[in-house]
Amino acid sequence: PKAVFVLPDGSEVAVNAEAGTNLMSAATQAGVEGIVGDCGGNLACSTCHVFVDESQVALLDPPGEHENEMLEYTAAPREPTSRLCCQIVISEKLDGIRVRVADPQV
Ligand code: FES
pTM of the model: 0.95
Q: Which atom of ligand 1 is nearest to the CA of 45?
A: 1
Q: Which atom of ligand 1 is nearest to the CA of 67?
A: 4
For 7-47, write each residue's pLDDT tens digit.
999 999 999 999 999 999 999 999 999 999 999 999 999 99
32-37, long-range: CB < 8 A, 24+ apart: 32/5, 32/7, 32/101, 33/7, 33/101, 34/7, 34/8, 34/101, 34/102, 34/103, 34/104, 34/105, 35/5, 35/85, 35/101, 35/105, 36/105, 37/86
Quickly state the pLDDT bin for 106 (edges 50, 70, 90). low
Mean pLDDT score, 89-99:
97
Residue 7 is given by DSSP the state -
CB-neighbour burial class of residue 90 (10 A; exposed 0-12, middle 13-18, buried 19+) = buried
In this structure, the residue with its CA closest to atom 4 of ligand 1 is 43
Domains of the chain in start order, with CATH, are 2-101 (3.10.20.30)
pLDDT surpassing 80 at residue 94: yes
**Which pLDDT score, from 0 to 100, does residue 104 have?**
78
